[in-house]
Structure 1
Amino acid sequence: MGKAFLRTSRVAEQIQRELADLIQMEVKDPRVGMVTLTGVEVTPDYAHAKVYFTTMKAAEQAPKAQAGLEHAAGFLRSQLAHRMKLRIMPQLHFIYDTSVEHGVRLSQLIDEAVSSDKAHQREE
């Protein structure tokens, strides 16, 4: 594990914390609504940051939330620059994270399989 990797992961974690606070307190765009940041990936040269998010509402709201976040990206980047002492502030790219939905769906499938297995065992 190299020194650069450790620093980029620390920077990504700090960006995630600061962005979560900024989105909650400063972004007034109604398209954004309640979003949860699930992760941030920063390129080794700090030029770009992929910000993964989920919405509290249905997945149909994700494109609206993404549009609102992309619209606020310049503002968020400038606010991050004031809060963090980096020479280069990365461009923010917001990506809807579908892993939570996949996890919920897999959990439902497992629950269905377990309940059908129990029902099948009772019949025997």
Structure 2
Amino acid sequence: MAREFYRADRVADALRRELAQVIQKEIRDPRLCMVNVNDVEVSRDLTSAKVFVTFVGEDDPAKIKASMDVLSRAAGFLRSHMAKAIQMRSIPRLQFRYDETSVRGQQLSALIDKAVESDRSHHGSDVDSQDASQDDREDKE
């Protein structure tokens, strides 16, 4: 059965698209890094929205916190822009959250790469020793 699309899902998608554009074009604060709007979760009653963001190329926790503060302070400004862009009776309150899934994914990817490399180095030495023992057997025959 096909998944039904609820109004909250459609509102979340519209907010995500509009916020990505408005944040990039309208907020002029030097503390704000390049922002990616990863996801928006809107409550069923459409009164609040959690906006999950990441910052491109930024790993410093102090700069991330400063950027999050800028976004939190600009929530009212952004909400007023959303009211102009999206035709709704009321626009949800915006709550910005730092999305750590991409950071966690990079950490897991690095761990996997390290494990694969370690496995290759162990199997590589095992293959060399197996080749040497096979050569010894062939010499004896």
Q: Say whether 1:54 aligns with 2:58.
A: no
Structure 1 segments of 4+ aligned residues over 3 angstroms from their partners: none
Gaps of 5+ in 1: none
CA distance in 1, matches of 2:97, 2:60: 13
Q: CA deviation at 1:42?
A: 0.4
Q: TM-score by structure 1 length?
A: 0.94
Q: Which residue of 2 aligns with 1:70?
A: 72
Counterpart amino acid of residue 12 in structure 1: A
CA distance in 1, matches of 2:86, 2:39: 18
CA distance in 2, matches of 1:59, 1:37: 19
C-alpha RMSD of matched pairs (Å): 1.5
What is the number of equivalent residue pairs in this alignment?
A: 123
CA distance in 2, matches of 1:103, 1:34: 19
> Percent identity, aligned pairs only?
41
Gaps of 5+ in 2: 127-141
Counterpart amino acid of residue 69 in structure 2: A
* 8 Å contact kept, 1:31–1:67: no
Structure number, greater radius of gyration: 2
Q: TM-score by structure 2 length?
A: 0.83
Q: Which residue of 2 aligns with 1:35?
A: 35
Q: CA deviation at 1:2?
A: 8.3
Query: Comparing both chains, which one has the higher relative contact order based on Cα–Cα distances under 8 Å and sequence gaps of 6 or more?
Result: 1
Q: Which residue of 1 aligns with 2:17?
A: 17
Q: Which residue of 2 aligns with 1:95?
A: 97
Q: Deviations over 1:44-78 (max 9, x none)?
A: 11110000001111141221111000111111000
